[in-house]
Each structure stands twice: as structure tokens, then as C-alpha cells.
Structure 1
Amino acid sequence: MTFQIFDADRHVMEPLDLWEKYLDPEVYQAYPIKVVQDNPLAQQDRVERLGHRGDLALPPVFVVGDFPLLNNWSEEIQIASAMQDKGNRAERVAAMHPESQLSSMDDSDIAIAYLFSTFAGYVVNHECLPAEVSLAYADAYNRWLKDYCSVDPDRLKAVGLLSRHDPTTLCSQLNQIIENGWSSICLRPEVIAGKDFGAPEYIDFWAKCEKHNISVVFHGGTNLHAPTAGTHRFQSRFALHACSHPMEVQMAFVSLLESGVFERHPTLKFAFLEAGASWLPHWLWRLDTICYPEFPSLVADNIKMLPSEYFKRQCWVAIELGEPCLREVIETVGHEKLLYGSDFPHPDHMHFTTEDIAKQLGVLSEEELKDVLANNAQTFFN
């Protein structure tokens, strides 16, 4: 049995030359994205220090201005990355261009894809960049993405990227998203530039999102140059990758909840991607039964019903193929709140496949599968 699939979390790979073409020239001159290539002398030095483990060419390292693009991107991680580099090179190249992106979608029975950045989010949210530079990079990426999706706007759906360095610019950025005809935006779940989602500077922004029916997606990632769950405790890729995605979206939900964003904007829609869904039963149970009843007077102004009720009313979450507890998730929030996302072409999800997807999601009925694989995404992304 085949199902129509709407991929709620698919990525582009930004070609390096897009920045010279789309970025403000003054910003590009002052804060260009550069590639630092490995060289034979460096490789020889690694062999002398590390033996045969160092005897391979490392992937290029990206730098924006004078700052490395990725945080905690150690030599050990670079070596491990080089060992697996060829495993998904074809997919990464395919994601650079709309025509090959569409072809890869056909190969996986993807009817429609909602597209997110790979590198631009790391630039736009980089804590070392001035606000005006972050804003310029977000604008350049969105203009490039608009051209990218114009090749087949019925199948390639842009998710706008916003800069949070200066929250006073959020509404004007949203105006451009609306003018583009886009219905969704992507935000990192972390605290950026010292502001979480309940900050007073965000009040008008949330109201504008609700007024214009703009859906808000939270999508995290590892190795960002900004405080992320785990970065004050770990340096290894293993630990950072374990913490960043699921823990940050849980805290983003609490930020929206306790600051009253859900209460003030009951029709505003949010989705939490690439963190799985199995955290929901425990997290909502804890909020409902331990945190919410403890001191009701402390939250009475902003939380007027059970936290789980807010989630069921206005939140969605992406599942991972093969993850446990999906039936418990459905019992908690309903199957209508589940989305499917491939994370194509990122290497940590390349072992997942849409082949036999009905068998992989055997806990779902046929009607539930249709909703999770397509209908729910249509509802969330408008």
C-alpha cells in the first residue's frame, strides 16, 4: 500500500556562491562565508600525532567573518565526519538545486516538502555576529529560497528564516514573509541574544503571527554558537547531539506556556521538529500533575488550563521512524498532532527510509497513517 507523503522537515543545502549573489555587498565584504580547506601539511601533522587515524583529508571548515561557523567542531569530530563523508554526498549535492531536490523527492514518494536551511540558521543565530549582519544573512537566504522554490511552488514549500538578534525587527521581517506568500517560519528553540520567547519584545510579533495565520516551527540543532542544552556541561558530539534537539524544544514549550503566549494567542500554531515525539507523554504529565498544581497562584495569570490542553489545542510534533511510545503519544495529544519529517539530506537520519513506511509505523491504523503522512502537515502549514 502506498501513501501520499508530505515531508514536514526537509532541508536544502545552501551552495557557497549564493551569499555573494544574494547578500548585501557591504555585509559580504565585511563578514563573508569562507571555506578553509585541509592541506597535505596538516594531514602529515595529523599522521605524526595520531597515526593512521589522521591519514585522510578532512572536510572543509566554514568560517563567517573571523568566526568558525560551528561550535565545538573539534578535530576528532572532523576526522569522524571525514570517515563518513562519502556516505551521503550525492544526497547533499541533490539538496543544493531544486531540480535534483525534486528528483530525490520522487525517489522517496514525497509529494510535497517543507524546506528548511542547513547552514543559514547557524549564521543567522551566531552569537558573535552583529544584529545587522544576522538580519542581512536571513534576508539573503529567504530571497534565495524564494527563487529555489519558484521552480515548482506546488511541491517545494518555503519555510522562512528569521533573525532574532534584534527582536524589534521581527515584525518587519514577518512583513516580508507575508509578502512572499509564505505561511510558516522557522525559529531556533534556544535563548538567542539573551531573549526567550516570553520576552516583552516578542509581544507584537506573536500577535502579528496569529493575525496573519503564520505557523511557527521550532527546529534546533547541535554545534550552534549560542547557549544550547548541554554546552555548559559537554564538549563531545555524542553528548551535545543527545541534548540539543529534544531538551531545547521541551524548554521552548515551557517558555511559551509560562509567559502566556498560548493563553493570549489561542489560534497560533506551533510545531516542534527533529526531536521525536516520545518525550511528550512524560513532559506533559510532569507539567500537568507536578508543576502546574504546586503553586497555582504563581501561574494563574498566564496558564488557565492544563499544559497538555494547550499542546492539544495548538501544537504539533514530528515523529521519528522506529521511535517507541507512539501509541502513548497519540493517547496524550491525538494522532492529528503528529507530523512526518525525513530530515533529508542530513547524515544522522540517512538510515531511515520511506520504504515499507506503513510497516515501520505499524502501530498506526490506515486512517492515522494518512493523517500523519500528509493531512496533518496540510493543517499545520496552512
Structure 2
Amino acid sequence: MTYAGNRTIIDVDSHVIELDDFLHKAATEADRPLIPDMAAQTELAVQQAGLDRGRELHAKRQTDPEVMKKFEESLMDNKKSGWNRLGAFDPAERSHTLDLFGFKMQFVLPTFSYHQIGHEKDAEVLEAGARTLNRAMGSFCAADERLRAVGYIPLTLGPEIAVQLMQEGFEAGCYTFMVDTNEPDRKKRSFTHPDFDPVWAAFASHNAPFVIHVAVTGDFESIPRSFFNNGYKKVELGGDAPSGALGMVSIANTAQLFLSAMIFDDVFVRHPELKGIAMEFGCVWLPSWLQAMDVGHDVFKIFQPNLQARDYPPSEVAKRHIKVSPFAGEPLGWVIDQVGEDMLVFASDYPHPEGTRDPIGKFEATMTGCSQ
């Protein structure tokens, strides 16, 4: 029996836990000198001991069936280091892991490799890094059609370079791409500006939903740092986990702003086939966000002519075009009652620990009363 049992599940959020040569092995000769070392980034600490142990255990699994059996039996043990979990960095092993899960499809996102290149200020390094990341992700998923590679497009480089990177990324095997929710340079164009229409058109023409992810926010700070000067110890769980209860409250701020701008600035009107997925922002904010957009539309349509052209509320646009992955433990039944049954999608976050030991069980425990 697989973990999914008789359920049909598409897992929209899982990750590779990269080895430190992940990008350098995928880079072209021209790009390789531009790629920073994985340990040079500071957003996610790289522990050499963890890397070494991950390689050691992987080698044992390949030669000792008893070791492999133990890892299969502890598939959902989220206390293990990411590098120590089954299928973390080996594509063939990841396919075996997917067999054990029983999922129909699984989106695969980067972890360390995004932070390795995604915060670069040098445009040449950022472009080379994104191109290499997309090549690496495409290669990781190439042998199994169930695995869908999710790369990264730095829209801050402008629409022309973004479209070029997308074309190269699709050719390299990416299914779709993460984009930043925020342009950190206040003098640059918003990503919803019509100049970026070729980017959104490329997503739509490939039937590929754009992805926004909690780690990819254009350096957006959801909590001003002064709030942590409160006399209490700051909660640091690591990775993409929220900074305590206050972080949980504010985690979706950047997603709400970005998606609202996409709707109010008519991106979905200009690209009616465009879809998007918001990952690891939780979902409890959805009901109030939809209501807030509708109120904002009603109040400001007399000042914004483009809003007057619509005879339907923004919440309907969101429901047609946006999917959201919840956190395990959120009250999914209540959210579904408020927003309908079509906005939420399953996400395991494997092999990140935030996915918990039993995401299916945690989701279904809060869905009593929901239809199949």
C-alpha cells in the first residue's frame, strides 16, 4: 500500500535537497565561473557534516537492501536531515520515492540552489545562475514524466531577458518557474506592467502555472525588524518556516499584494488562460483577502477606470486563476466552506520538515464534512 492509498494526488510542492555540486555540474563552460559556491549564501546554512552524511547514507542504500528497507519504512520521518531523506538528491531514488508515495505527479522545486543564485545583485551572475538552475532542475526530473521541474525566472532582469530564460528553461526540461512577488527596486517597473505581458503570455501558451513561493519574494520583509526587539527570544526554526506566531500571521502579505496587483492591473484580463499557484503561504488568509479585494474594487472603481470596465468582482478572478497550497494543520474545512472547493491544492513539501510526518492525515482531519 502506498502512502496515498486509493487517493489520486498531485503534489504541487516538493523539493530537491541539493548536493554542493548541483549547479556547477549543470552549468555551461561559459556560465560555470559565474556560479557562486552553495556554501557562500547565508539564507540557508550549509552544514558540511550533513552533506557528507547524506552522501554516505545514499551510498549504503545503493548497496545494502536492508538499509534501503529501513529508509523506505521511515519515509515520512521529518526529523531526518534533508540530505538523509530518500530521494533528496538522486533522481532515480526520487522516482522510487514517488512510487512509495503513490502520487500521480509531483512538482519539484529547488532549495539551496535558489538561494545560491537568487539574491545576487550582479545581473550577469543572476542571469547565469537562473539559467543554470533551470538546467539542473530540468535534468533532475528528466527521466520521470511524473516529476515536474520548477525553475526560477528573475523578473527584475526585465521582460526581454526573462522571456529568453523561460524559453531556454522550457527547452531544458522545466515544467514551469517561480517568480518573485516583489521588485525590490522602487524605480523599476512592476511585474504587472504591460511591458511584462510577453512573460505572462509565455506561461499561458505553455499551459504552465506561474509559481510564487514563500522563499522567493524579492527581499520583501513581511515583518519590520523592530518587532523582534521585544524582549523575547526570536523563534528561528530554519528554512522557510515562519518566525514564530507573528511570522505566521504575516507570512502571506507579499503573496496577497502580488496577486492583488495581478488582478487589479488586469494581467488576467489580458491573459485569460494564465494560471498561478501560491506555495507555502498557508491558506487561512484566503477568505478575508477575497473580501478585501471586492471591497477595494467597489470603493475605488470610481477613481480607477480599468476597474469600472469589469462587471464581476476580483474574487471571481482569483477563483478562476489562482490555486493555493495550505499548511498541514490549518482548518481546511472552514476555508473550503468560505472560498469554495477549487482553490486549494495538495502539497507535501517533501523532504522539508515543514510538511510534517503525515500531511494527508493532517489535511483530512480538518476536512470533516467536506465532499469527496
Deviation at 1:246, TM superposition (A): 1.5
Contact 1:120 1:138 in 2 (8 A): no
- State the alpha-carbon separation in 2 of the partners of residues 200 and 232 from structure 1: 34
Deviation at 1:88, TM superposition (A): 3.4
- State the alpha-carbon separation in 1 of the partners of residues 129 and 226 from structure 2: 30
- For the pair 1:216 / 2:220, whether they are aligned, the reply is no
What is aligned with 1:203? 197
- State the alpha-carbon separation in 1 of the partners of residues 24 and 343 from structure 2: 40
- For the pair 1:317 / 2:324, whether they are aligned, the reply is yes
Deviation at 1:344, TM superposition (A): 1.0
Contact 1:91 1:345 in 2 (8 A): no
- For the pair 1:157 / 2:136, whether they are aligned, the reply is no
Structure 1 residues 27-38: aligned runs within 5 Å: 27-34=31-38
- The number of residue pairs the alignment matches comes to 319
Contact 1:164 1:170 in 2 (8 A): yes
Change (3 A) 1:331 1:361: closer
3-state DSSP of counterpart to 2:298: helix
Q: Pick one of 319, 344, 348 that aligns with 1:338.
A: 344
Question: Which amino acid letter does the alignment assign opposite residue 163 of structure 1?
Answer: P
Deviation at 1:120, TM superposition (A): 2.6
Q: Pick one of 157, 161, 164 that aligns with 1:169.
A: 161
Question: Identity of paired residues, percent?
Answer: 26
- State the alpha-carbon separation in 1 of the partners of residues 294 and 363 from structure 2: 33
TM-score scaled by length of structure 1: 0.73
Q: Pick one of 14, 17, 20 that aligns with 1:13.
A: 17
Contact 1:228 1:244 in 2 (8 A): no
- For the pair 1:22 / 2:26, whether they are aligned, the reply is yes
What is aligned with 1:146? 138
- For the pair 1:184 / 2:176, whether they are aligned, the reply is yes
- For the pair 1:117 / 2:121, whether they are aligned, the reply is no
**Residues 327-365 of structure 1, C-alpha deviations (whole Å, 9 max, x = no match):** 443344421222000111112233443358644533422
- For the pair 1:264 / 2:270, whether they are aligned, the reply is yes
Question: Which amino acid letter does the alignment assign opposite residue 11 of structure 1?
Answer: H
Contact 2:18 2:111 in 1 (8 A): yes
- State the alpha-carbon separation in 1 of the partners of residues 33 and 270 from structure 2: 43
- State the alpha-carbon separation in 2 of the partners of residues 92 and 231 from structure 1: 35
3-state DSSP of counterpart to 1:251: helix
- State the alpha-carbon separation in 2 of the partners of residues 196 and 228 from structure 1: 17
- State the alpha-carbon separation in 2 of the partners of residues 287 and 211 from structure 1: 27
TM-score scaled by length of structure 2: 0.75
- For the pair 1:108 / 2:101, whether they are aligned, the reply is yes
- State the alpha-carbon separation in 2 of the partners of residues 140 and 27 from structure 1: 8
3-state DSSP of counterpart to 1:342: coil
- State the alpha-carbon separation in 1 of the partners of residues 105 and 205 from structure 2: 26
Structure 1 residues 355-370: aligned runs within 5 Å: 355=361, 358-359=364-365, 361-366=367-372
Where does structure 2 lack aligned partners over 5 or more consecutive residues?
46-77, 229-233, 237-242
- State the alpha-carbon separation in 1 of the partners of residues 249 and 155 from structure 2: 22
- State the alpha-carbon separation in 2 of the partners of residues 125 and 196 from structure 1: 18
Contact 1:281 1:328 in 2 (8 A): no
What is aligned with 2:8? 4
3-state DSSP of counterpart to 1:337: coil
Q: For the aligned residues, what is the CA RMSD?
A: 3.0
Change (3 A) 1:347 1:166: same
**Residues 67-91 of structure 1, C-alpha deviations (whole Å, 9 max, x = no match):** x4318x8xxxxxxxxxxx9633455
- State the alpha-carbon separation in 2 of the partners of residues 322 and 232 from structure 1: 27
- State the alpha-carbon separation in 2 of the partners of residues 349 and 269 from structure 1: 24
Deviation at 1:9, TM superposition (A): 0.5
Q: Pick one of 253, 274, 277 that aligns with 1:247.
A: 253
- State the alpha-carbon separation in 1 of the partners of residues 91 and 101 from structure 2: 15
Stretch moving more, 172-181 or 23-32: 23-32
Contact 1:14 1:119 in 2 (8 A): yes
Change (3 A) 1:123 1:233: farther
Contact 1:125 1:226 in 2 (8 A): no
Contact 2:139 2:172 in 1 (8 A): no
Question: Which amino acid letter does the alignment assign opposite residue 69 of structure 1?
Answer: T
Where does structure 1 lack aligned partners over 5 or more consecutive residues?
35-61, 74-84, 367-382
Deviation at 1:13, TM superposition (A): 1.3
What is aligned with 1:275? 281
Question: Which amino acid letter does the alignment assign opposite residue 94 of structure 1?
Answer: G
Change (3 A) 1:163 1:346: same
